[in-house]
Amino acid sequence: MSVLEVRNVGKRFGSLVALRDVSLTVARGELRAIIGPNGAGKTTFFNLISGLFRPSAGTIAFDGRDVTELPAHKRVALGMARTFQITEIFPELTVFENVRIGAEIASGYRLRPWISRAEKTEVDRRVHETLKLAGIDGKAHRLVGELAHGDQRAAEIAMALALRPHLLLLDEPTAGMGDQETYEITQLIRRLHRDSNFTIVLIEHDMRVVFHLADRISVLDQGSLLAEGTPQEIAANEAVQAAYLGKAA
Amino acid sequence: MNGRTHKLLALVAIWAALLLAPYWMPPLGGYTALGTRVLVLGLAAMSVNFLLGFTGVLSFGHAAYFGLGAYGAGFALKFLAPSTPLSLLCGMLLGGIAGALLGALIVRRRGVYFAMVTIAFGQVFYYIAFQWSSVTGGDDGLRGFSRQPLDFGLFSIDILSDTNAFYYFVLVCFALITGVMAFILRSPFGRTMIAIRENERRARFLGIPVERHIWIAFTLSCFFMGFAGALYALLNNFADPRGLHYSQSGDFVMMAVMGGMRTFWGPLLGAAVFVVLQDYLSSITVNWMSFVGALFVAVVLFFPRGLLGFIRRKSEA
């Protein structure tokens, strides 16, 4: 069964057409990469899926349910979590506190003026479990704002994981990172996909990362879907080479 | 010494100072009623800061809910029944319910726009109180009521003429409300407020309906504000339209910022500095506000985290 089903989605900002008639289906457990040149509409597409904007046309279904008109926070409640190209975290809180907020929300405590000792212990356990999964348990009590960029990104992914999502949307997880950090984040995403079986959609510029991780790749160009297929198929696709890989080389 | 013992010691020091105020203030040239004023205005500044410092939302019209609390208490004593607890309840409800209704209209605004709309609504209440003389007493304020002795059946406490008794009554009220505030701030809901302050977009994508949570925080802060206003009416036996005016809102924000808006107790310190300076300087010059203003500018320039923020940083270093 498909986790995400996007049908004929379009988005215009005034006279600018950012996306035109894009359709895409992501199966459960799949890792899908979305690539394309700058300005192809990748981030706009993510913003439509996650509910930051409404599409001008088309529908978005998540776990079989039409979410086209749902606001972002309700999509999160249904199990959709995302990260941003520029890391969005709570810089003045510790890593633990950053992740705890998501863990409490996932446990349904969002409006609670108190929690019992047992509930608190359970939340703490879950936060540490999530931090371990993201590989930053050792930095739990550091302020996120003081961490290196790669660790901040790992913390942001941990915040998303704390929500126990069915779908993880990662917008350029390795943006602005050096080789070592890129390698570590790539390994983290790989673990989440292979070992923990998360369904992941990611936007990525680094072709090594994309071809290393993705089950399937969708290529956007000038707001339209240019091609879709396995990494091998995409690498062999002439239209893609002309629009994207050719330009990069 | 670790952070936790530091915090505990600070807390003990604060409560010891508050509990013993009627004994240490007079030798230093103060008087008990001044201490009561610090508590009441401090509670109001802490209520403003519940929103400003912990949700990151600046209301410049919170005096409206403070003033409504004062009028609510006054009306209750004058027209309903001569009962101090009832007057506090009425003041709190009037401020809180008005806050809940208006808050629902303004939580979608942000930053400067939010502040402007809160000023506008605040001024509406100011002009109502000012113009509707037959009910509110207009410019002269609402008079003709006074706080009533606390009747416990077996005994009663005279909080009207015994200023020390009234101080301790206000201190108990203060402890109750600040206790509720601290409790909420340590709860999962309180942590969502801090999440909104730190990063609204991230909060939204953690599944927090940001507008609804801001509305709840705004409403809670208006209930606290209404309660503080009711205490203020009991303190003065009088409700003043100037208590609703936006310049009063500005004073509360100033106390919070001066004391340290990222700290829980900062606004109380800010209120103490403000009230004591006002009391002292206004007996010397009518231009006392220029001195308070100069101090405010100095604090913002040299201690951007406020007085308490600065003290805390020093003690941690």
Within-domain flag for B226: yes
Please give the pLDDT value at position B195: 97
- Range of A158-162, A233-237, B309-313 with top mean pLDDT: A158-162
Checking if the pLDDT of B166 tops 60, the result is: yes
Q: What percent of chain B has pLDDT over 70?
A: 99
- List pLDDT tens digits, range A65-102: 999 999 999 999 999 999 999 999 999 999 999 999 99
The domain tally of chain B equals: 1
Q: Per-residue pLDDT tens for A5-21?
A: 999 999 999 999 999 99
CA R_g for chain A: 18
Chain B residue numbers touching A106 (CB-CB < 8 A)? 207
Q: Provide the Cα torsion A73, A75, A79, A82; round to 10°.
A: -70
A74 domain residue, yes or no: yes
Are A156 and A95 part of one and the same domain? yes
pTM: 0.92
Per-residue pLDDT at B6: 84
A105 and A135 in a common domain: yes
Residue B159: the pLDDT is 86
Chains A, B: CB contacts under 8 A, how many? 76
Q: Is the Cβ pair A71, B188 closer than 8 Å?
A: no
Q: Is the pLDDT of residue A248 over 60?
A: no
Answer whether residue A245 shows pLDDT above 60: no
Asked if B95 contacts B225 with a C-beta cutoff of 8 angstroms, the reply is yes
User: Tell me, what's the pLDDT at B59?
Assistant: 93
Same domain, A19 and A41: yes
Given this model, what pLDDT does residue B156 score? 83
Q: Are B184 and B220 in contact (CB under 8 A)?
A: yes
d(CA B293, CA B300): 11
Instruction: Decide which of A141, A164, A187 is a domain's last residue.
Output: A164
What is the predicted ipTM?
0.92
* Number of domains within chain A: 2
Sort out which chain B residues have CB atoms less than 8 A from A102's CB and list them.
Answer: 206-207
Q: Mark whether A148 and A185 lie in a shared domain.
A: no
Q: Find the mean pLDDT for residues B271-290.
A: 92
pLDDT at residue number A249: 43
Q: In this structure, are strands A224-229 and A167-171 parallel, antiparallel, or unpaired? A: unpaired
Kindly report the nearest CA distance between residue B208 and chain A, in angstroms: 6
pLDDT for B258-274, tens place per residue? 999 999 999 999 999 99
Instruction: Say what percent of chain B tops pLDDT 90.
Output: 77
R_g (Cα) of chain B, nearest Å: 19
Which residues touch B273 (CB under 8 Å, ≥6 apart)? B255, B258, B259, B295, B307
Do B11 and B219 touch, CB atoms closer than 8 A? Answer: no
Residue A224: strand, helix, or coil: strand
Residues A17 and A55 in one domain: yes
d(CA B292, CA A162): 47
Taking the CA atoms of B200, B203, B209 and B212 in sequence, report the sign of the dihedral they define.
Answer: negative
Q: Are residues A224 and A160 both part of a single domain?
A: no
* Tokens at A99, concatenated: 């992740």
DSSP string, B205-225: TTT--HHHHHHHHHHHHHHHH
From chain B, pick out residues whose CB is under 8 angstroms from the CB of A90. Answer: 194-195, 198-199, 202
Residue B63 has pLDDT above 50, yes or no: yes
Q: Is residue B290 part of a domain?
A: no
Residue range(s) defining the domain that contains residue A10: 1-79+165-249
Among A90, A86, A109, which residue's Cα sits nearest to residue A99? A90
* B62 occurs within a structural domain: yes
Indicate whether A84 belongs to any domain.
no
**Does A2 fall in a domain?**
yes
Residue B90's domain spans which residues? 30-271
Q: Is the pLDDT of residue A50 over 60?
A: yes
Does B27 lie at the interface with A, CB-CB under 8 angstroms? no
Distance of residue A105 Cα from the nearest chain B Cα, in angstroms: 7
pLDDT greater than 80 at residue B179: yes
Pair A232, A201 in one domain: yes
Domain assignment present for B295: no
Q: Quick check: is B199 in a domain?
A: yes
Q: Average model confidence (pLDDT) for chain B?
A: 93
Are residues A2 and A60 both part of a single domain? yes
A35: confidence class by pLDDT, cuts 50, 70, 90? very high
Residue B313: pLDDT over 90? no
Given an 8 Å threshold on Cβ–Cβ distance, is A159 in contact with B201? no
Q: Are residues A190 and A156 in the same domain?
A: no
Helix (H) or strand (E) holding B133: helix B133-136
Q: How far is CA B24 from the centre of its chain?
A: 24
Q: Locate the chain B residue with the closest alpha carbon to A103.
A: B206
In a domain, A58, yes or no: yes
Shortest alpha-carbon distance between residue B80 and chain A (Å): 33
Give tens-digit pLDDT for B225-240: 999 999 999 999 999 9
Q: Tell me, what's the pLDDT at B99?
A: 96
**Confidence bin at A27 (pLDDT 50/70/90):** very high
Is B201 close to A88, i.e. CB distance below 8 A? yes
Same-domain pairing of A150 and A172: no
A34 and A104 in one domain?
no
A146 DSSP assignment: G
Query: What integer pLDDT is reported at residue A244 of this predicted model?
Result: 66
pLDDT at residue A163 is higher than 70: yes
Same domain, A142 and A174: no
Predicted local distance difference test score (pLDDT) of residue A238: 87
Count of Cβ atoms closer than 10 Å to residue B37 Cβ: 22
Strands (E), chain B: 150-151, 156-157
Q: Is the pLDDT of residue A211 over 60?
A: yes
Under the banding of pLDDT at 50, 70 and 90, the label for residue B1 is low
Residue A4 has pLDDT above 50, yes or no: yes
Tell me what the mean pLDDT of segment A144-165 comes to. 95
Test A113 with B187 for CB contact under 8 angstroms: yes
Among A145, A164, A183, where does a domain finish?
A164
Final residue before a domain boundary, out of A164, A183, A206: A164
- Smallest Cα distance from B223 to chain A, Å: 16
Confidence tier at B317 by pLDDT (50, 70, 90)? low
Closest chain A residue to the Cα of B205, Cα to Cα = A73
